[in-house]
Amino acid sequence: VALPAGFDPRDVIARKRDGQDVPAGDLRAFVLGYAAGDVPDYVAAAFLMAAFVNGLSGAETAELTRAMVDSGETLPLAGIDRPKIDKHSTGGVSDGVTLVFAPLAAELGLAVAKLSGRGLGHTGGTLDKLESIPGLRTDLAPEELERQVELVGCAVAGQSKDLVPADGALYSLRDATATVASVPLIAASVMSKKLAVGSDLILLDVKAGSGAFMKTPEHAAELARSCVELASYWGRRARAAVTDMSQPLGTAIGNALEVAEAVRLLKGEARGRLRELSVAFATEALTEVGGVEREVARSKAERALDSGEAAERFRRMIEAQGGDPRVVDDPDGILPRARVRRDVHGEGPGVLVTVDAEALGRAAASLGAGRARKGDAIDPAVGIEFLPKVGAGGGGDERIAVVHARDDPSAEAAAGQVLAALTMGQDAVQVPPLVFGWYGSEVHEGPGGPDERR
Ligand code: URA
């Protein structure tokens, strides 16, 4: 795709730099031009920074989203007759909900075709986690994705040259240029992936707290509203929960470690906030599109985990994507393991009052679990198991973390970062709620919606 005659991408940057709105056609030409390789990285990076600093209007956010969707094919999934659910998190630390939710929802009779992302900034990415399973592929072609959902009930793939390529390109550029934590850029990125795939319900997990891009529930609510508004513009149904990310959601931070934790949860062997949130999303899905009463939906979800059936569904999903299914039987034996393991002990009395979850995410990324530069390889084996929860544990000389590292110096550095991320105290601690609230969309089709504005 050549850029339109007379179009100069620098004009788009200049407008945003000066706080003006970018005309819809120019924004579209810019995004499609970038996806096609006709706008270079450094030009797109300058635009992202201008958008980060000066924001995007609702109309610009909608246009950006539309151009990203239109940069590739769409996948209506018209042939799937089960209720279709999509789910996405805005990014967190030890946020393995998708790994648990996708097979769980499939086990409950729903269909999940999900486009996930890679690690971004200090947050982990589902694709990187899944790819720690030997052999597993996430570059599914659109027809493969659809076929797998038909056969297995769930598939988790990456955006690709076919599906939302503009998000793939912009996502890694944002990661490399400190332009991630922006409401319109996250909303467009998340929703472009959700709008490109047909679904009856889009569930959004909008994270709030130290480990999220949005540090307060109020800021996260703004992102939730923006995502839900985009869905409703497109005539799509969405429900967004603002959920706690003031501490790691599970215990594992790092790719293979998070898969191993998900396997334990799917087999009903572990409890905690990661299980609770996965069950909450499955309950929401089954209630909203399955017509099942909330308490019945919840107990069905709990049962699918405790019986091990959800784990069997995960096995089928892994196998369908070319991965080694024995990971479900023996995660520690099949997944890559780091050479060095180092225990970290607490340094004094009290209880954990706050934890800088972003710092923990960064510590895991510096061990090799995340990327410093676009396209960097990651190390699937490294990471941190962080054991205490806010209001419970962390004091005395109890073991608070296990660092999994490639070598002793990096293990030592990460151990220091873990200890520096904690605030201990003696007083009673207010444990944050798991879910701050849900935002639901009314679907507004008709005049004013995107198709009419085209
Ligand atoms: N997840 C996404 O898909 N995109 C973002 O920008 C942030 C989180």
- Which of these is catalytic: 94, 116, 132, 189? 189
Question: Does residue 379 contact residue 369 with C-beta atoms inside 8 Å?
Answer: yes
- 189, 214, 245: residue to mutate for ligand 1 pocket, most atoms within 8 A of CB: 189
Dihedral (Cα; 319, 323, 328, 333), 10-degree rounding: 150
Other C-beta atoms closer than 10 Å to the C-beta of 392 total: 12
Tens digits of residue pLDDT in 310-319: 999 999 999 9
Question: Does residue 240 contact residue 368 with C-beta atoms inside 8 Å?
Answer: no
Q: Which atom of ligand 1 is nearest to the CA of 125?
A: 1
Question: Does residue 108 contact residue 286 with C-beta atoms inside 8 Å?
Answer: yes
Mean pLDDT of the chain: 94
Tens digits of residue pLDDT in 332-364: 999 999 999 999 999 888 899 999 999 999 999
Q: How far apart are CA 106 and CA 266, in angstroms?
A: 12
Q: How far apart are CA 90 and CA 55, in angstroms?
A: 18
Question: Residue 242: which pLDDT band, with cuts at 50, 70 and 90?
Answer: very high
- Ligand 1 atom 6: residue of nearest CA: 186
Reply yes or no on whether 174 is catalytic.
Answer: yes
DSSP annotation of 326: G
Q: How far apart are CA 178 and CA 190, in angstroms?
A: 17
This prediction has a pTM of: 0.94
Q: What is the mean predicted confidence (pLDDT) over 423-428?
A: 89
Question: 91: Cβ below 6 Å to ligand 1?
Answer: yes
Q: How far apart are CA 287 and CA 384, in angstroms?
A: 35
Reply yes or no on whether 193 is catalytic.
Answer: yes
- The phi, psi pair for 75, rounded to 5°, reads -130, 90
End-to-end, the C-alpha distance of the chain in Å comes to 20
| Among 81, 16, 5, residue whose Cα is nearest residue 46 | 16
Question: 120: Cβ below 6 Å to ligand 1?
Answer: yes
Q: Which atom of ligand 1 is nearest to the CA of 90?
A: 8
Higher pLDDT, 12 or 446: 12
Question: 90: Cβ below 6 Å to ligand 1?
Answer: yes
Question: 117: Cβ below 6 Å to ligand 1?
Answer: yes
Question: Does residue 92 contact residue 247 with C-beta atoms inside 8 Å?
Answer: no
- 122, 186, 205: residue to mutate for ligand 1 pocket, most atoms within 8 A of CB: 186
Q: How far apart are CA 421 and CA 416, in angstroms?
A: 9
pLDDT at 446 over 50: no
Reply yes or no on whether 114 is catalytic.
Answer: no
Tens digits of residue pLDDT in 173-207: 998 899 999 999 999 999 999 999 999 999 999 99
Q: What is the mean predicted confidence (pLDDT) over 211-230?
A: 97
Tens digits of residue pLDDT in 390-408: 998 877 888 999 999 999 9
- Which of these is catalytic: 26, 86, 128, 167? 167
- 120, 195, 358: residue to mutate for ligand 1 pocket, most atoms within 8 A of CB: 120
Q: Which atom of ligand 1 is nearest to the CA of 117?
A: 3
Q: How far apart are CA 154 and CA 111, in angstroms?
A: 6
Query: CA angle 226-56-448, nearest 5°?
Result: 60
Q: What pLDDT does 442 receive? A: 52
Question: 124: Cβ below 6 Å to ligand 1?
Answer: no
Q: How far apart are CA 114 and CA 157, in angstroms?
A: 6
Tens digits of residue pLDDT in 243-261: 999 999 999 999 999 999 9
**Residue 335 alpha carbon to ligand 1 centre in Å:** 26
Q: What pLDDT does 444 receive? A: 43
Question: Residue 167: which pLDDT band, with cuts at 50, 70 and 90?
Answer: very high
